[in-house]
Amino acid sequence: MRFFLFSLLVIFVACQPGSQTESQQASIVQADSDIEQKLADMGVELYDLPEPTANFVRAVKTGNLVFLAGHGPWTTEGKYITGKLGQDLTIEEGQEAARLVGITLLSALKAEIGDLDKVSRIVKVHGMVNGTTDFTQQPQVMNGFSDFIVEVFGEKGKHARAAVGMGSLPSNIAVEIEMVVEVTD
């Protein structure tokens, strides 16, 4: 019992302001700063998205939450990755499509909030995978998105997630993903 209480005391003291050295504090701050530089180091470029062609917006900020509309896997060539998983695309191709949706969503998020360093948490992700009726690997496809987001944001990128199969998606895109993000001002 005394060891347990001593352990709690050590943890309490370690968590108090001023208990970390300046270099420890600086490395913590540095690790969480400049998401766009991290993306550049990863070889990822964000881009300006074309205006939606229907009566909706790409993102809505309310309070400290940003709700991002469903986005598809937009390529640098200016077209979508299309096709059904289990028929036209492999799981690996689906994962790459999901990763591309991550880049598209981050581009839309940056346009909405101006600075990705304002992201305090990726809250919820809803992934829709265009697949054949017998395709059941939606979570593996969505891992392409989730792994990318966690690589970019670290612990702040870990999110609640749904990965569901769809009989079709708009324009036959392979994957569509919606996202909810918590931000600070």
58 lies in the same domain as 141: yes
172: left (phi over 0), alpha (psi -120 to 50) or beta: left
Give the domain range for residue 132. Answer: 35-183
The band of 8, judged by pLDDT with boundaries at 50, 70 and 90, is: very low
CATH code of the domain in which 124 resides = 3.30.1330.40
**Quick one: 17 and 44 in the same domain?**
no
Confidence of residue 33 (pLDDT cuts 50, 70, 90): low
8 A C-beta contact, residue 131 and residue 73:
no
In this structure, the answer to whether residues 161 and 82 fall within a common structural domain is yes
Same domain? 155 vs 167:
yes
**Predicted confidence (pLDDT) per residue in 89-120, tens digit:** 999 999 999 999 999 999 999 999 999 999 99
Q: What is the mean pLDDT of residues 23-37?
A: 54
Q: Using the predicted structure, report yes or no on whether residue 28 has a pLDDT greater than 90.
A: no
What's the rounded Cα separation, in Å, for the pair 163 and 143? 9
Q: Mark whether 25 and 47 lie in a shared domain.
A: no
Instruction: Determine the pLDDT at residue 53.
Output: 86
User: Dihedral sign, CA of 70, 75, 79, 85?
Assistant: negative
Question: 99 and 158 share a domain?
Answer: yes
Count structural domains, the chain: 2
Q: What is the pLDDT of residues 165-176, one digit of tens each?
A: 999 999 999 999
Predicted pLDDT of residue 78? 87
Q: Does one domain contain both 40 and 7?
A: no
What pLDDT does residue 185 have? 85
Q: Is the pLDDT of residue 25 over 50?
A: no
Q: 139 and 65 share a domain?
A: yes
* Same-domain pairing of 25 and 52: no
Instruction: Out of 42-56, 98-112, 116-130, pick the least confident.
Output: 42-56
The overall average pLDDT reported for the chain is 86
Mean pLDDT of the region 154-181? 98
Task: Say if residue 13 is in the same domain as residue 58.
Answer: no
pLDDT score of 31: 39
Average the pLDDT over 9-35 and give the result.
43
As a whole number, mean pLDDT of residues 17-29 equals 39
Is the overall model pTM greater than 0.85, yes or no? Answer: no
C-alpha angle 41-120-13 in degrees, rounded to nearest 5: 105
- Look at residue 20 in the predicted model and tell me its pLDDT: 42
| First and final C-alpha spacing in the chain | 44
Average pLDDT, integer, range 123-143: 98
3-state secondary structure of 168: coil
Do residues 12 and 77 share a domain?
no
Could you tell me if 22 and 75 lie in one domain?
no
